Amino acid sequence: MNNETESTLACLKQLVELQQQENKRTRALFFFILPAAIVVMVISIYIQIFEPFKHAQPRESPINWYDVSLDMRRGDLDKALKSANLLLQKVPRDFEGHYRKGEILLMLGENLESKKSFQAAYSIFPTSKYKNAVDTLALLISKDNPQEENAKEVRQ
């Protein structure tokens, strides 16, 4: 081989070595930048999703029948009745809700109103449970106030 070929080969070897070094740097840079870019993307997505909730005001928890039952057990019948009325406004055909309202009214001594709630439950879903409650209250009311019950029956 002549000098010119040897010098060309030497230059090519240097170029190959430089390219290999450049490839190593590029790979190292790629393996550093890629995870950093992923972290930045995850953080930006997190901020976009959860930032609006950061300043949101907590909502009042919705009333449910479990809360009504707890109020009844605690003896807070006025609160239980108020909650039951709110729930029945939302779902007026809730037969079990009318039954529970009847129970609350019965505990409050409102026998006539209690009977109306039991009748509402029975008219929506006629079962013996609701019928028995209506019949028992009718007997109780007639024993307590026979004249008042008869007057109400005549008006209806």
pLDDT tens sequence across 54-108: 666 655 668 899 999 999 999 999 999 999 999 999 999 999 999 999 999 999 9
**pLDDT (tens digit per residue) in 113-149:** 999 999 999 999 998 988 998 998 888 888 877 555 4
Closest CA to 67 of 97, 94, 105: 97
Q: 65-155 has which CATH code?
A: 1.25.40.10
Q: What tokens does 155 get? A: 């008006």
CA-to-CA separations, 153 to 58, 105, 137, in angstroms, rounded: 50, 20, 14
pTM: 0.56
C-alpha angle 44-45-49 in degrees, rounded to nearest 5: 120
Region for residue 75 given its phi and psi (left: phi exceeds 0; alpha: psi -120 to 50; beta: otherwise): left
What is the torsional sign of CA 42, 59, 68, 135? negative
CA-to-CA separations, 152 to 23, 81, 92, in angstroms, rounded: 98, 24, 25
Query: Residue ranges of the domains in the chain?
Result: 1-58, 65-155
* Average pLDDT, integer, range 45-53: 75
Q: For residue 48, count other CB atoms closer than 10 A to its CB.
A: 9
Single-letter code of the amino acid located at 124: I
